[in-house]
Amino acid sequence: MEINDLYRDVILDHNRQPRNFGPLEPADASVEGFNPMCGDHLTLRLRLNEDTISDIRFEGQGCAISTASASLMTEAVKGKHRDEALKLFDRVHQLLTDDAAPPAEELGKLAALSGVREYPARVKCASLCWHTLASALKSTDPKSVPAVSTE
Amino acid sequence: MKNLALTHPDLAFDVEAARRHFPILSRTVHGRPLVYLDNGASTQRPQSVIDAVNDYERRHHANIHRGVHTLSQEATALYESARDRLVRFVNARSRTEIIFVRGTTEAINLVTQSYARPALQPGDEVLITHLEHHANIVPWQMVCAQTGAKLVAAPMTAQGEIQLEAVIALMNPRTRILACAHVSNALGTVLPVRRLVAAAKARAITTLVDGAQAVAHMAVDVRDLDCDFYTFSSHKMYGPTGVGVLYGREQLLERMPPWQGGGDMILAVTFEKTTYNALPYKFEAGTPNISGAVGLGAAVDFLSSLDRKAAHAHEDALLHHATAVLGRIPGLRIIGTAPQKASLVSFVVAGVHPHDLGTILDEDGIAVRTGHHCAMPVMDFFKLPATARASFAFYNTIDEIDKLAAGIERARKIFA
């Protein structure tokens, strides 16, 4: 495993210039995610049109993996139905943790995250934003979702 | 590797000879020689410590203080002789002042619950400093909540220094306890503990010094420091994990109630009344970490066999080299620049998050700590979520620091 397989160009690009980064006002849901082990945190805000994610933005501070993962995630789920986004969450979770995960071509740019699974200490960096999103989407009251922690 | 003894004739420390005592230092990580720069988190074990634990497990193990049989007597003798070594190691007055605990964290919790909890009244104050490890913050917060006392933190300068006058300014007639680090784990700052303790003593304030980061780097003399309590962990001074020491002044320990009840800490038990055992056993309920204590005793022997002045001078040379070499890297900022520092460097690199740096350095076989170092108030002070920290031991080399610098440059290129 080479370090370039973890820090692929897509990851470096989304770290340098994160997409959908910044506040979103007003928002239908606002959820915070923490990684207490490393002190990283992010705030994820989204607008829902019926059951479709019409807009989504994030802010906070984290490493390249966590920033790029959040940036890629916002691009991937914007415009998607809640159920589709949750399916994608399951698929990415599998990609990050399961060595036997099937090829990831259909995931598009998100496939760049597959390098993370060779670095167990960094899986939480990549998955924090996804857990935060899932928590917002699964909540019956998106206005008051408790903060998500990786620990 | 450069031989310091050749380049600096006044430093007669043979680092290559020192390294040969540590088998782990000859392994590779990701195909590269291990460069272990995470000694502030845990130091490695010399062969003599590994052998002492192994010999104990293979030949002498039984429960202590209980049996008349040979193994129990041998195990007891080994455990208690480790205590004797620790008495000499910190210059305690007697064996009654050395309590074996799980580590620094447990030692501080023992003091907060057994000494502070009965002593503190509502409105009393406990004084700590801004640079403490969570282990010297949270137990005090807990006992303050239990007693109605107030926790006060003395300020830190922008260099990460704790100034004597700033701490004294916060001492008042309600201050009951001063608890401070000897050396900061996050910044490396050496605190002026001797003078802090003297100032506290003049005001009848009880003192605890958290020595977790000090004992590996400097000779500690608790009678010279004159503190009431001193705490440290075995695994940060080349011994095994899961064991540590609470030194306490005998008069205070005598007055304190036991912290945990159970076997070994009693003389006689009926359902009406229990008579507690004498010091130090009053505070050692249950079967202790016997092999850990034996290993810690061997670590004391190992440290005593070193020329500690020369080892310290070598560590100082490592600190100065690291400060100079890392300081030349563009965008690198050293966090914690107190004039008195132990051999560790905490730093951030512009454009490279500490965790990414940690992963990239690991590919080069270099182990550093990244994160908040269990000192979130320190991180908040510098407005940083995390830093990278390279912490040195006497077995590290100038060459290893140059490898660290090269690894940081590589990370900068990846993120350029």
In the prediction, which pLDDT does B273 show?
87
Q: Give B 338-397 residues with CB within 8 A of chain A.
A: 353-356, 359-360, 363, 370-372, 376, 379, 385-386
As for how many domains chain A has, the answer is 1
What is the rounded distance in angstroms from the CA atom of residue A99 to the CA atom of residue A1?
13
Token pair belonging to B258: 């036991």
In the prediction, which pLDDT does B4 show?
47
Nearest CA in chain A to B357: A63
Q: What is the fold of B50-304?
A: Aspartate Aminotransferase; domain 2 (3.40.640)
**Which chain A residues are Cβ-neighbours of B385 within 8 angstroms?**
38-41, 61-62
What is the rounded distance in angstroms from the CA atom of residue B98 to the CA atom of residue B244?
10
Q: Is B180 an active-site residue? A: no
CATH 1.10.3720.10 assigned to domain B4-45+307-414? The reply is no
The whole domain housing A113 covers 3-149
What is the rounded distance in angstroms from the CA atom of residue B154 to the CA atom of residue B133?
14
What is the rounded distance in angstroms from the CA atom of residue B197 to the CA atom of residue B168?
10
Q: What is the pLDDT along chain B (416 residues), one digit of tens a residue?
A: 444 444 554 457 999 999 999 999 999 999 999 999 999 999 999 999 999 999 999 999 999 998 889 999 999 999 999 999 999 999 999 999 999 999 999 999 999 999 999 999 999 999 999 999 999 999 999 999 999 999 999 999 999 999 999 999 999 999 999 999 999 999 999 999 999 999 999 999 999 999 999 999 999 999 999 999 999 999 999 999 999 999 999 999 999 999 999 888 888 898 888 899 999 999 999 999 999 999 999 999 999 999 999 999 999 999 999 999 999 999 999 999 999 999 999 999 999 999 999 999 999 999 999 998 999 999 999 999 899 999 999 999 999 999 999 999 999 999 98
**B196 contacts: CB under 8 Å, gap ≥ 6:** B164, B167, B178, B180, B207
Mutate to test the interface with A, among B134, B346, B359, B410 (most CBs of A within 10 A): B359
Q: Is B173 on the interface with A (CB under 8 A)?
A: no
**Would you give the distance in Å from CA B188 to the centre of its chain?**
12
In the prediction, which pLDDT does A1 show?
61
Strand ranges, E, within A22-150: 29-35, 40-49, 52-61, 148-149
B360, B371, B415 ranked by CB distance to A38: nearest: B371
CB atoms within 10 A of CB B223: 12
Asked if the Cβ–Cβ distance from B353 to A39 is below 8 Å, we say no
Q: Is B32 on the interface with A (CB under 8 A)?
A: no
In this structure, are residues B207 and B239 in contact, taking their beta carbons and an 8 Å threshold?
Answer: no
Strand B344-349 with B332-335, pairing: antiparallel
In this structure, are residues B231 and B106 in contact, taking their beta carbons and an 8 Å threshold?
Answer: no
In the prediction, which pLDDT does A16 show?
95
CATH code where residue A80 lies? 3.90.1010.10
Q: Give A 52-81 residues with CB within 8 A of chain B.
A: 61-65
In the prediction, which pLDDT does B9 show?
46
- pLDDT, tens digit (0-9, with 9 covering 90-100), for B95-126: 999 999 999 999 999 999 999 999 999 999 99
Q: Measured between CA atoms, how close is B354 to chain A, in angstroms?
A: 7
Q: Is A10 on the interface with B (CB under 8 A)?
A: no
Rounded to the nearest 5 degrees, what angle is found at the Cα of B125, between the Cα atoms of B124 and B128? 160
Nearest CA in chain B to A16: B415
Least confident of A5-9, A108-112, B263-267: B263-267
Going from N- to C-terminal start, the domains of chain B cover 4-45+307-414, 50-304
- pLDDT, tens digit (0-9, with 9 covering 90-100), for B364-388: 999 999 998 999 999 999 999 899 9
Asked if the Cβ–Cβ distance from B414 to A125 is below 8 Å, we say no
In the prediction, which pLDDT does A150 show?
74
In the prediction, which pLDDT does B8 show?
52
